[in-house]
Amino acid sequence: MESSLGQKNKHREFTLASFSSLPLSSSTASPSSPSIARFHIDSGVAELRIFNDSESSNSTNVDLHMAQLFKVGPVESICISEVSETDKEESYSKGVTIQFRNEEESKAFHCAFEQWKKEADCEESKLPNGVVSARRSKFDSKTEASSAKMYFHYYGQLLHQQNMMQDYVRTGTYFAAVMENRVDFNGKVVVDVGAGSGILSLFAAQAGAKHVYAVEASEMADYARKLIAGNPFLADRITVIKGKVEEVELPEKADILISEPMGTLLVNERMLESYVIARDRLLVPNGKMFPGVGRIHMAPFSDEYLFVEIANKALFWQQQNYFGVDLSSLYGSAFQGYFSQPVVDAFDPRLLVAPSSSHVLDFSSIKEEQLYEIDIPLKFTATVGTRVHGLACWFDVLFNGSSVQRWLTTAPGSPTTHWYQLRCVLSQPIYVMAGQEITGSLRMVAHNNQSYTLYLTLSAKMWGVGAEQGGILQTSSGKMELKEPYYRMSQPQIQPQAYAGQDQQPQQLMQQQQDMNIQSLDIEGAELLQQELENAVVQIQ
């Protein structure tokens, strides 16, 4: 960082009217005390130091990489930063109220803050492969501690690993992709990113890998060691390393990465970012990635049964005499709340009202920061006249082997996986005619609970008088939380099959099954779906 920020600006100072820490304490400056705010470099870390005068030992130091600045008035701002205890796994936030002498100095300070913070983040991303930052890892800095704790606790349990391994579409496709491309693994160094039980590491060893480093941050690492030790013909070529890929050091670079980083809608749980970080830190230049490409597929759908089912959930709040209490004031909030839940289930592809479009994520070249916000423009042509209730989404990933290319798909009509499909349902449907154009956007914004907020807009040109002159639109928008989906039972289920019998293209729907094989979804998905199985049976025609 010295080479960038340090040479351009050794430090930059601003004179403040005053500052005070939150909560107020006797050690902070009084409101009338002039103060200094200095941007500077300390041991390669960009910091903001605020103090009463240049000789004062009482100061507030803020790591710009972990800080945010909020304007609360023309000459008043609050700086919030996250602080972690070095001997604990806990972190807390601290705040500083800053008073400026005038509005111009306030604007100048905000500009300087954003510039120094931007360049500090930029320098952090330029660390050489294999070098770990002295401060908190990227994973810790962008992840809520409670979310990470639950995440690693969930994947540290054998029953959840079993649920994923029993998704034979998933596991079988990985096995086929590795075995059919032995040339990519034979004699090569492999890193298994988020190894879990170690099953993919064992596949790589079976394919002739010279050595496999199985990196796993949860307690599952201990189970992986046991499982690998129980396969002595492979164990001597596999090393389990307990830790995050953002932090671990390996004795050598990998020729190939293998991982299963996909969540609901491909991006949920934000493990794709760890996969990309592992690429930058641990993979040789032009090394292979299994998988190497992901695609998010989208298409508008029509499903009156689903729409009514969701809308009816809020009817509880229309009661005006619930034990003598009028609940109706909360009906509107409840109605919107139910529509903020994306629906995870397996649906009949005949519900789609237009050919799908796709958004490609090339794991070999995409930057981690490009996964923080994903903006996908939408454009479809309706094939039927109907009410459009929202956007259906699914994904697939490509194992681009030197011998065989193999896709793992979660498309409707294909053998069902534990990811199922996802549908964003709008609280206000739009009407379309056959041949009518549907436009809009799907914007996905990452947050520190390891998931995304979805912003969906769909529009269609109005038909009838005046439509040809004004380009009149009917538009519907919605905001959904990907981390809080509605896991819903759907009748058209397809029995998982062994990888050898799978087609690589989506198959036609097979006969409906009454007894559904529950597999794991993303965190807590299986438990939630089990509850729904006891409550809801939905017929799709």
Sequence-separated (6 or more) residues with CB below 8 Å from residue 150: 523
32-56: buried (b, 16+ CB within 10 Å) or exposed (e) per residue? ebebbbebbbeebbbbbbbbbeeee
DSSP string computed for 99-142: E-SSHHHHHHHHHHHHHHHHHHHHHHHTPPTT---SS--HHHHH
CA distance 388 to 381: 12
Residue 466, CA distances (Å) to 247, 402, 463 in order: 61, 57, 8
Tell me the sheet residues that pair with 214: 192, 240
The position carrying tokens 């499903």 is 303
Tell me the sheet residues that pair with 60: 50
CA distance 497 to 339: 34
Residue 496 exposure: Cα atoms within 13 Å on the Cβ side: 25
CA distance 212 to 240: 8
Q: So which residues are the catalytic ones? A: 260, 269
Residue 434, CA distances (Å) to 103, 384, 386, 387, 431 in order: 57, 4, 8, 11, 10
Cis peptide before 34 (omega within 30 of 0): no
CA distance 177 to 292: 12
CA distance 100 to 18: 7
Beta carbons within 10 angstroms of residue 10's beta carbon = 11
Sequence-separated (6 or more) residues with CB below 8 Å from residue 242: 216, 217, 221, 222
